[in-house]
Chain A
Amino acid sequence: MNGNRIERTELPEPRYEFGGDDHVFVELDEAMSFDANFQAMAITQQIDERDIAGVTEICPANASYMVRFDPDVIHPETMVEELKEIAAETDISEYSWETRVITIPVLFQDPWTHETLMQFRDHHQDPDATDLEYSARINGFDGVEGFIDAFVGSPHMVTMVGFVPGLPWCFQMVPRTEQLEVPKYVQPRTDTPSRAVGFGGAFSVVYPVQGAGGYQLYGRTPIEVLDVDQQLPNFRDSMVLPNPGDILNYRRIDREEYDTIREEIEEGTYEYAIEAVEFVPDAFFEAPHEYNEELTKTGVSSS
């Protein structure tokens, strides 16, 4: 049955492009797919492991990746040769990586994002509906409840982190036919509450800080994804929670639980639900729903 598997995407020849004298940008595909993203993930992990002299930044993106380097140490052409060599040796069918399943509690239709989205109705495709009502309708759901069920029904993989520190772009781990797709706002908003959970194109996001944004707004999480002061226990090693390759499992909560968790976050006592897992692309492609269920139920603890 096609519908229960992830159909593999044949990727075109990658495009190697110079970004000035100190970056190489590699486009693996113009369209988003798990194949393109996993390839980006696998190659960037290999670059990291090779510890190539002169490389200063290694950035996987949704269907591409980028490296920054010091051209005094490595010539741009040599850099591209290295990347091609790594690509030739990378086969995601034989690849797996250590990652984490992170539970993100979300209060959908919360008062804060609701206030914001109502403020910006004139920037929206459908001024008479909420973002959730609009998204549910254009994705063929009878109502908001069914749409939220689909949104939280399968985990989302962090396929890229960026724009601002700690903002994860997440691609839901389901076959193409089940994937939700929603346009961004016609005009970006000038405001978004911090910790808002949104969706645009085929990606869910969590906004780490208050600011501009163009994604449809669905809810708000009480937990932080960015802690610049590194006060929370889970941020001791890094001020940013999500990393490329992590798996976010959105969990629907009510207002009472939201308030309880928020209080614990503010007191610094909240324990993030994080499970270390081994991610095997091939097993996921074969039976995504079963694989996801196992991932989110019985993550193999790392310690």
Chain B
Amino acid sequence: MIEVVKGGVSTTIQDLGRFGHYHIGMPPSGAMDLFSHKVANALVGNASDAATLEMTYDGADLRFEENGVIALAGAPMPAELDGEDVPMHEAVRVEAGQELETGFTTEGARTYLSVSAGIDVPEVMGSRSTYTLVGIGGHEGRTLQAGDELVTGENGAAPDTVVGNTAPEENLPDLENSNVLRTVIGLCDYRLTDESREQLCDVAWKVTPEADRVGYRLEGPELEFVEREQPFGAGTDSSNVVDVGYPIGSIQLPQKPIVLMRDAVTGGGYATIGTVIGADRSLLAQRRTHETVRFEPVTVEEALDARQSVQDDLAAIRTAIER
């Protein structure tokens, strides 16, 4: 059992996500920075689908009532276990009665805390991920708050076999210098004027305070649509199309871009103009308010190469751990 002493700004239970229900409006949810979630799990000897805590900006304080192993991955976050520093990306032993205190991330936005055998909450539609909008999954479908009690799974790796595991630095992303988001331009990009389509990839976009698990709203120049007589059913505004499904990672344009994240609205009538590739959605999840991002156009083949490169990093981390 883990007792939540302080919930932090926005801490939720997440796993790989919930699939097969997008067509009824149910987004996948799951870890925003999937890479760090997987690293955190690997460090303590969990499978990737074990549930972790996703802590946003400010971490949670937790009291452990059983022995176990924990690891932190993703955005660097100061943390102490009964006064002892807890390093990032290392599996650390916890003993019953110990308390973990965490602070604010020093760079990046999201830190993942794994515990051996994972956080055990009931699965909803095949996933433990929290989706706060309708209040399902995770702990009572909401962000954690003081007084919550979390149960951990059974059959975790034996502590002695995993304590001290670390992830090699060279396989971890450099969060400070990861502001380029490789993007497959397309979907309804024909709605943009040539000038605006160029601008999309030329300028630096600033992350606004309205950046959360649903989407990242960005600030920058106003993009313009090609004038047309609106097709039947599309609505009167030139930013509107006949409602479409929105890919996760897609950039939609209610004038200023919003990149849809894992709690995305699943569809609607705003023109979508491209999709941030899978590999870089984890990096966007680590961008902080007022930081900038750039969109770099890539082909699908390049997106697949990037995907492979992320998998290679993960495999290298797992190999290093098993040695």
A residues with a Cβ closer than 8 A to B are 17-23, 25, 27, 29-33, 44, 56-66, 68, 71-72, 75-77, 160-167, 169, 171, 176, 181, 183-184, 200-203, 209, 226, 228, 238-240, 242-244
Nearest chain-A residue to B136 (Cβ)? A228
List residues of chain B with CB within 8 A of the CB of A63. Answer: 233, 242
Docked-complex contact B250 and A19, CB < 8 angstroms: yes
Residue in B23, B188, B304 whose beta carbon sits within 8 Å of that of A162 in the complex: B23
Docked-complex contact A165 and B267, CB < 8 angstroms: no
A73 to chain B: closest CB distance in Å?
12
Q: What is the CA–CA distance of A238 and B125 in the complex, to the nearest angstrom?
A: 9
Docked-complex contact B307 and A183, CB < 8 angstroms: no
Docked-complex contact B24 and A32, CB < 8 angstroms: no
B residues with a Cβ closer than 8 A to A are 19-26, 125, 133-136, 141, 183-184, 186-188, 231-237, 240-245, 247-250, 265-269, 272, 275-279, 300, 303-304, 306-307
Docked-complex contact B19 and A33, CB < 8 angstroms: no
Docked-complex contact A19 and B25, CB < 8 angstroms: no
Docked-complex contact A21 and B235, CB < 8 angstroms: no
A168 to chain B: closest CB distance in Å?
9
Q: A20-B303, A57-B23 are in contact. List 17 more A-B contacts (CB 8 A).
A: A20-B250, A21-B304, A22-B248, A22-B278, A23-B248, A27-B244, A29-B231, A32-B232, A32-B233, A58-B23, A163-B267, A164-B25, A166-B25, A171-B233, A181-B233, A202-B233, A238-B24
Residue in A23, A59, A181 whose beta carbon sits within 8 Å of that of B23 in the complex: A59
Nearest chain-B residue to A64 (Cβ)? B244
Docked-complex contact A203 and B243, CB < 8 angstroms: yes
**Centre residue among B26, B186, B232, B306 by max chain A CB count within 10 A:** B232
Q: What is the CA–CA distance of A254 and B211 in the complex, to the nearest angstrom?
A: 43
Docked-complex contact B277 and A160, CB < 8 angstroms: no
List residues of chain B with CB within 8 A of the CB of A75. Answer: 304
B274 to chain A: closest CB distance in Å?
8
Residue in B233, B240, B243, B267 whose beta carbon sits within 8 Å of that of A31 in the complex: B233
List residues of chain B with CB within 8 A of the CB of A203. Answer: 233, 243
Q: What is the CA–CA distance of A77 and B136 in the complex, to the nearest angstrom?
A: 35
List residues of chain B with CB within 8 A of the CB of A21. Answer: 184, 277-279, 300, 303-304, 306-307
Q: What is the CA–CA distance of A181 and B242 in the complex, to the nearest angstrom?
A: 13
Ranked 5 nearest A-B pairs via Cβ: A32-B233, A19-B247, A31-B231, A162-B267, A66-B245
List residues of chain B with CB within 8 A of the CB of A166. Answer: 24-25
B301 to chain A: closest CB distance in Å?
9
List residues of chain B with CB within 8 A of the CB of A72. Answer: 307
List residues of chain A with CB within 8 A of the CB of B304. Answer: 21, 71, 75-76
Q: What is the CA–CA distance of A162 and B245 in the complex, to the nearest angstrom?
A: 8
Known A-B contacts A25-B245, A61-B243, A66-B244; A164 and B134 likewise in contact (beta carbons under 8 Å): yes
Q: What is the CA–CA distance of A128 and B141 in the complex, to the nearest angstrom?
A: 41
Known A-B contacts A17-B187, A19-B249, A59-B245; A161 and B23 likewise in contact (beta carbons under 8 Å): yes
Q: What is the CA–CA distance of A31 and B230 in the complex, to the nearest angstrom?
A: 8
List residues of chain A with CB within 8 A of the CB of B276. Answer: 20
B243 to chain A: closest CB distance in Å?
5
**Centre residue among B186, B234, B300 by max chain A CB count within 10 A:** B300
List residues of chain A with CB within 8 A of the CB of B183. Answer: 20
Docked-complex contact B24 and A19, CB < 8 angstroms: no
Q: What is the CA–CA distance of A184 and B233 in the complex, to the nearest angstrom?
A: 11
**Centre residue among A21, A72, A75 by max chain B CB count within 10 A:** A21
Nearest chain-B residue to A176 (Cβ)? B232
Docked-complex contact A18 and B275, CB < 8 angstroms: yes
Known A-B contacts A32-B242, A228-B134; A165 and B265 likewise in contact (beta carbons under 8 Å): no
Residue in B19, B136, B231 whose beta carbon sits within 8 Å of that of A30 in the complex: B231
Residue in B25, B278, B300 whose beta carbon sits within 8 Å of that of A165 in the complex: B25
List residues of chain A with CB within 8 A of the CB of B186. Answer: 17-19, 25
List residues of chain B with CB within 8 A of the CB of A226. Answer: 134
Q: What is the CA–CA distance of A181 and B306 in the complex, to the nearest angstrom?
A: 45
Docked-complex contact A162 and B268, CB < 8 angstroms: yes
List residues of chain A with CB within 8 A of the CB of B269. Answer: 184, 201
Write 6 A-B pairs (CB below 8 A) sorted by A numbering.
A23-B247, A23-B250, A68-B22, A71-B278, A164-B133, A240-B25
A213 to chain B: closest CB distance in Å?
11
List residues of chain B with CB within 8 A of the CB of A176. Answer: 232
List residues of chain A with CB within 8 A of the CB of B272. Answer: 19, 25
List residues of chain A with CB within 8 A of the CB of B279. Answer: 21
B45 to chain A: closest CB distance in Å?
23
Q: What is the CA–CA distance of A209 and B44 in the complex, to the nearest angstrom?
A: 39
Docked-complex contact B187 and A19, CB < 8 angstroms: yes
B127 to chain A: closest CB distance in Å?
12
Docked-complex contact B265 and A57, CB < 8 angstroms: no
Docked-complex contact A23 and B275, CB < 8 angstroms: yes
Nearest chain-B residue to A238 (Cβ)? B24
Docked-complex contact A25 and B241, CB < 8 angstroms: no
Docked-complex contact A71 and B265, CB < 8 angstroms: no
Known A-B contacts A23-B275, A25-B187, A184-B235; A18 and B300 likewise in contact (beta carbons under 8 Å): yes
List residues of chain A with CB within 8 A of the CB of B235. Answer: 183-184, 200-201
Q: What is the CA–CA distance of A134 and B20 in the complex, to the nearest angstrom?
A: 40
Docked-complex contact A164 and B234, CB < 8 angstroms: no
Docked-complex contact B232 and A31, CB < 8 angstroms: yes
Docked-complex contact A27 and B233, CB < 8 angstroms: no
List residues of chain B with CB within 8 A of the CB of A162. Answer: 22-25, 243, 245, 265-268
Docked-complex contact A30 and B20, CB < 8 angstroms: no
Docked-complex contact B25 and A163, CB < 8 angstroms: yes
Docked-complex contact A62 and B22, CB < 8 angstroms: no
